[in-house]
Amino acid sequence: MITLYHWADGQKVDGKSGRFSDVTNPATGEVTASLPLASSEEADEVIAAAAAAFPAWRDTSLASRSQILFRFRELLNARSAELAAIITSEHGKVLSDAAGEVARGQEVVEFACGAPHLLKGSSTENASTNVDVASIRQPLGVVGIISPFNFPAMVPMWFFPIAIAAGNTVVLKPSEKVPTAALWIAELWKEAGLPDGVFNVLNGDKTAVDALLSSSDVKTISFVGSTPIARYVYETGTAHGKRVQALGGAKNHMVVLPDADLDLAADQAINAGFGSAGERCMAISALVAVGDIADTLVSKIKDRAVALRTGDGTRGCDMGPLVTSVAQQRVSAYIDAGESAGATLVVDGRQGSFDATGSGFFVGPTLFDHVETGMSIYTDEIFGPVLSVVRVDSYEDAVELINANPYGNGTAIFTNDGGAARRFQNEVQVGMIGINVPVPVPMAYYSFGGWKNSLFGDTHAHGTEGFHFFTHGKVVTSRWPAPSHGGINLNFPQNT
């Protein structure tokens, strides 16, 4: 077992608080590392390293900054398999899925390589007589990123490539369940030539988060995690005068209309319900079957679910374990609750054999039918491989269900009716919509974010909104007077 560390000013920093948490391999149950949890003082030291690096990084030319991003991209392309293996060893998701996560994060690096174009301002000559106006965007300072366990690389990469390209310095506080990806990325930045102190990793729990939220050096917070913590981070961070984007939890519905291709819908329900063992904020957890297709659709999903191979993510399985034994117990308890509440348990993930050695945190694919909206398996974000089928009579009932839900992250509709799909995208109160696409995660050059309890703040992640979030706007109005100038005039300036 190894002892991990923080990363500040381009080097490893040992923990001094005396507080540690265990990092486990979820496929075996084995404790693989001990993670130091920062005290407030240690957090302040990491933040201070980022603050000290800011003036020089801010003044580094855009050309030089983007060259470092290009080098980071090249290194990550060459070594992405190493990062995927780290993700699998701490999160549990299967290797191919971990590689997909890295690739989606890399898209944001590639987008951020276009910073020179994306940071361009505009200018107007002779806006008023002999007066020119120009807009510019400038970095803010130290940015704090607080990430969840379920995407150890991709979620931090939604933010830091853009923040760094825009001239900010970063303190990343990864989830204590999956810290090694962030530390690996820190070393990659160093190899790419990023100056020391521009990218820092602060390991810890609430104490570290609170230090970021209250530090006057930290100008923005990008948080991703569960809704109660997202709300807390948003309220506390904004109370301290920071810009905050706090992405929260989800309960994503997939509507299947009677005219849909049911084999396609069944395949995609499996992919979106059980990929990463359901530990995705864009996972489909509620399947809304409209009209008389439900029996056929449930039977098709069942056939596919029982054929999935669940086990160690390094063994070519379809689905890996849950992240911790606590998560495993929580998901099993939800299955118990669904059964007791009277839903029909079609496939029971508590049973079954798993392709792994040791005591991994496995729950197999689970399918419930005849789920009612008052049941906890419907109301709560389970964050596990549990797919609930809710039967409704009409398209209108399906939309009403989605719009009544307190979350609004992603949703999908499966149909061959273009008119119904167009109506759906117009009427549904959700941030990311898939039409015959079950997990509609936007490309890096668009922005990622939900509505309602799935996002606090008004800025989504990456895309042009990302550059906007990590910069201040400034408008410069200038006149280079001729020898004769206008003299004194106390009226409000008017354009002539």
From 24-32, 203-211, 269-277, 303-311, span contacting ligand NAD (CB under 6 A): 203-211
Is residue 146 within the footprint of ligand NAD (CB under 6 A)? yes
C-beta of 212 vs 298, nearer to ligand NAD: 212
- Figure out which of the listed residues 25, 147, 366, 459 binds ligand NAD, where binding follows CB under 6 A: 147
Stretch that binds ligand NAD, among 168-176, 296-304, 417-425, 466-474 (CB under 6 A): 168-176
CB 402 within 8 A of CB 411: yes
The rounded distance, in Å, linking the Cα atoms of 209 and 496 is 52
Does position 453 bind ligand NAD by CB under 6 A? no
- Is 302:403 a contact under the CB 8 Å cutoff? no
Strand bridging mode 142-146 / 169-173: parallel
Query: Of 40, 226, 271, 314, which lies in the binding site for ligand NAD, with binding defined by CB under 6 A?
Result: 226
Q: Is 119 in the site for ligand NAD (CB under 6 A)?
A: no
Report the residue number, 105 or 248, with the smaller CB distance to ligand NAD. 248
The structure tokens listed for 395 are 């398209």
| Single residue of 24, 150, 200, 328 touching ligand NAD by CB under 6 A | 150
Q: Nearest distance from residue 232's CB to ligand NAD, in Å?
A: 6
The smaller minimum CB distance to ligand NAD, of residues 300 and 452, is found at: 452
Q: How far is the CB of 449 from ligand NAD (least distance, A)?
A: 7
Chain centre to alpha carbon of residue 318 = 22
Listed ranges 34-42, 169-177, 304-312, 480-488: which one lies at the site for ligand NAD (CB under 6 A): 169-177
Kindly indicate which of the ranges 116-124, 150-158, 358-366, 422-430 contains the residues binding ligand NAD, using the contact rule CB under 6 A.
150-158
Residue 436 binds ligand NAD (CB under 6 A): no
| 147 vs 268, beta carbon nearer ligand NAD | 147
Binding span for ligand NAD by CB under 6 A among 22-30, 129-137, 171-179, 395-403 = 171-179
Q: Does 155 bind ligand NAD (CB under 6 A)?
A: yes
Among 65, 93, 104, 173, contact with ligand NAD (rule: CB under 6 A): 173
| Pairing verdict, β 284-290 and 252-256 | parallel
Judged by CB under 6 A, the chain residues 239 through 298 that form the site for ligand NAD are 247-250, 281
- Tell me how far apart the terminal alpha carbons of the chain are, to the nearest angstrom: 73
Minimum distance, C-beta of residue 228 to ligand NAD, in the bound complex (Å): 7
- Binding status of residue 405 toward ligand NAD by CB under 6 A: no
Phi, psi for residue 438 in degrees, rounded to 5: -80, -30
Round to whole Å and give the CA distance between 449 and 199. 24
Q: Which of 13, 381, 382, 405 binds ligand NAD (CB under 6 A)?
A: 381
**Given phi > 0 = left and psi -120 to 50 = alpha, else beta, which region is 291?**
left
State both tokens at 480.
Answer: 């280079």
Q: How far is the CB of 212 from ligand NAD (least distance, A)?
A: 9
Q: Are 45 and 17 in contact (CB under 8 A)?
A: no
Q: Please classify residue 382 by burial: count the beta carbons closer than 10 Å to its beta carbon, then call 0-12 exposed, 13-18 middle and 19+ buried.
A: buried
Residue 173 CB, shortest distance to ligand NAD, in Å, is 6
Taking CB positions, which residue lies at the least distance from ligand NAD? 225
Token pair recorded at residue 342: 């009277």
Nearer to ligand NAD, 243 or 462 (CB): 462
The answer to the question of residue 229 lying near ligand NAD (CB under 6 A) is yes
The residues annotated with a catalytic role in the active site are: 281
Q: Which one among 189, 274, 368, 383 touches ligand NAD, defined by CB under 6 A?
A: 383
> Which positions lie near ligand NAD, rule CB under 6 A?
146-151, 155, 173, 175-176, 205-206, 209, 224-226, 229, 247-250, 281, 381, 383, 409, 450, 454
